[in-house]
Structures are given as structure tokens and as C-alpha cells.
Amino acid sequence: MSKRDELNIDQQQLAEAWRSALPQSILEADRATVLPDESDPKSLRITIDTAGHQMYSFDFKVTYIDSREVHVTLIDVEKENKTVDERTDIIQQLVQDYTRHIHECAQALKVLTHA
């Protein structure tokens, strides 16, 4: 009964699943890139490029705590390839929105990640 609830899916398969599921969770015009985190087999790197005139790019690290729960860390925010202040209200609002969308996507993929 002490079997730990661990993620039991190949990282490449996981990244593929996120690539197909995440666009359903974010705004239609936004673009998401999902890559395996080469330094951590339980993590993915997600970049979300916002649509419209803002042209922000958000980099997140998504780490599976267990087969269902993820920890989302904001790595960087850029605008036109330059790092921007992440503390502004608009950026904080977008970070909160994208973090929520990432958690929603993790929930949607539970059928795959929770063996």
C-alpha cells in the first residue's frame, strides 16, 4: 500500500501529450511550445507566446510532484527578445492566467499520467 504515486510516462510522450492538450487550455491566438527539460526527467519547459501587440514570451518550468500534481515555476518573461520586469500588474495577471491554464492542462492529462 506504500506504493508512491510517481509519474510513469516517458518524458517525450509526456511532452507530446502536452503539445496537443495545452493549445485547448490557452487562448486560441497564443502559441505554446513544449519541450522535455533535459536536466530533469520529471519536468517540461513550456514557452507561451502571447498574441497581439504585446508580443510577450513566458517561459515556465513544469515539474510533476506526483502523477497528478504539477509545480509551475516562472523562469522568464521577454518582450521582443528582451527580459522584462515580471512585477508589473499586466505581467503578473498573465502569469496567473497561464499558471492556471497549465494546471488545467495537467488535470486534463491525468488520464495519461496517473497509471
pLDDT in tens, 32-87: 999 999 999 999 999 999 987 778 999 999 999 988 889 999 999 999 889 999 99
Measured CA distances, 49 to 12, 34, 55, 67, 72 (Å): 22, 12, 7, 27, 17
Q: Is residue 5 part of a domain?
A: no
> Across residues 100-115, what is the average pLDDT?
91
Domain that holds residue 91: 11-113
Q: Which helix (H) or strand (E) holds 34?
A: strand 31-36
pLDDT of residue 6 exceeding 90, the answer is no
Q: Which helix (H) or strand (E) holds 21?
A: helix 11-25
Overall number of domains in the chain = 1
Length of the chain: 115
Is residue 113 within a helix (H) or strand (E), and if so which, with residue range? helix 110-113
Looking at the predicted structure, is the pLDDT value of residue 88 above 50? yes
Determine, yes or no, domain membership for 109.
yes
pLDDT at 115: 63
